[in-house]
């Protein structure tokens, strides 16, 4: 076990005993003008679970994640994380969320290491030497410790995604949210990222919510998954149950995704 840091939030260690937090969503609705994106959506994610939400582009996956982060307020319904309503950004909360944005969203003028260490620096979690060690450790987790001094523009798309994962992990999260973690990546990089997600879950037992339109990747990383369609989760189950679903909406999605791949 690595070094121990004492922060205002408690103890931060090189391999901290994270605790996955549960999520409970009841009757969630969200519209933008005429467009009703989510309607009466309910979902329970168990502590330590990896829950994957699949659905077509534009069905509301990112809107759902933004509400978990507190960046968008629901029109109706409730989201409880770790038993408490989602706090506004900046408000104190008992849990920490790490978010991996679809675009990776790295600062282009900062090195890889500076991107990963930014949150730690801003929150003065530790002195510079200790932050350096945490940054190296998180980059090690995603296999990129040797890229610490490069600029984001010098990395491939898949590597930038892995840096974004390392940056999210640097906050020592209890909940990881991944928005389309493998979009625009080639199959080899997609496999790398999927392995990363599974590996992090095994090691740290944090709760993860992954939204994607990639059915194969979703099935690979999920404990359970749900299909978002017309504002609701129309089917929830294990990857096996989803693949065998007789729900026409799910069947249509699966058939489209596996066309030309010899079925799945
Ligand atoms: N801030 C916003 N203002 C207006 N409409 C939005 C906003 N954010 C998302 N939408 C709309 O909500 C719907 C769902 O978007 P999104 O959650 O981004 O879909 P996806 O499932 O592809 O992530 C889309 O119709 C999108 O245009
Ligand atoms: Mg999206």
Ligand 1, atom 4, lies closest to the CA of 32
Beta-bridge partners for 248: none
Ligand 1, atom nearest to 55 Cα: 21
- Express each pLDDT in 162-202 by its tens digit: 999 999 989 889 999 999 998 878 888 888 889 989 988 88
- Out of 28, 29, 32, 64, mutate this one to test ligand 1's pocket (max ligand atoms within 8 Å of CB): namely 32
- Express each pLDDT in 19-29 by its tens digit: 789 999 999 99
Ligand 1, atom nearest to 63 Cα: 17
Neighbours of 190 (CB within 10 A): 20
Beta-bridge partners for 235: 227
Distance (Å, rounded) from C-alpha 183 to C-alpha 177?
A: 15
- Express each pLDDT in 60-99 by its tens digit: 999 999 999 999 999 999 999 999 998 776 777 888 899 9
Distance (Å, rounded) from C-alpha 71 to C-alpha 73?
A: 7
Range 8-24 average pLDDT: 63
Rg of the chain over CA atoms, in angstroms? 18
Which of 125 and 177 is assigned the larger pLDDT?
177
CA 33 – ligand 1 centroid, Å: 11
Of 84-93, 130-139, 228-237, least confident by mean pLDDT is 84-93
32 touches ligand 1 (CB under 6 Å): yes
Ligand 1, atom nearest to 56 Cα: 21
Distance (Å, rounded) from C-alpha 151 to C-alpha 234?
A: 42
State the burial class of residue 139 (Cβ atoms within 10 Å of its Cβ: 0-12, 13-18, 19+): buried
Coil, strand or helix at 35: strand
Assigned fold of 18-96+173-257:
Rossmann fold (3.40.50)
3-class SS letters over 39-59: EEEEEEECCCCEEEEECCCCC
Ligand 1, atom 19, lies closest to the CA of 58
């Amino acid at each position: 076990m690595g070094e121990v840091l004492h922060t205002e939030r408690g103890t931060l260690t090189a391999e901290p005993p994270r605790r996955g937090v549960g999520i409970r969503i009841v009757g969630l609705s969200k519209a933008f003008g005429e467009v009703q994106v989510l309607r009466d959506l309910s979902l329970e994610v168990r502590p330590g679970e990896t829950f994957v939400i699949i659905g077509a582009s534009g069905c509301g996956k990112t809107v759902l994640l933004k509400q978990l982060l507190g960046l968008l307020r629901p029109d109706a319904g409730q989201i409880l994380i770790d038993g408490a309503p989602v706090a506004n950004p900046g408000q104190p909360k008992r849990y920490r969320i790490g978010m991996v944005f679809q675009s990776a969203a790295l600062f282009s003028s900062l090195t890889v290491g500076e991107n990963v260490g930014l949150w730690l620096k801003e929150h003065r979690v530790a002195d510079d030497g200790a932050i350096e060690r945490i940054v190296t450790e998180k980059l090690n987790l995603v296999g990129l410790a040797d890229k610490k001094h490069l600029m984001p523009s010098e990395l491939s798309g898949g590597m930038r995604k892995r840096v974004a994962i390392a940056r999210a992990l640097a906050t020592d999260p209890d909940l990881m949210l991944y928005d389309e973690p493998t979009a625009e990546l080639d199959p080899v990089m997609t496999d790398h990222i999927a392995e990363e997600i599974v590996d992090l879950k095994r090691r740290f037992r944090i709760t993860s919510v992954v939204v994607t339109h990639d059915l194969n990747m979703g099935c690979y990383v999920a404990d359970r998954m749900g299909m978002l369609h017309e504002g609701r989760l129309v089917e929830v189950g294990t990857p096996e149950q989803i693949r065998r679903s007789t729900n026409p909406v799910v069947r249509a999605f699966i058939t489209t995704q596996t066309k030309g791949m010899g079925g799945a």
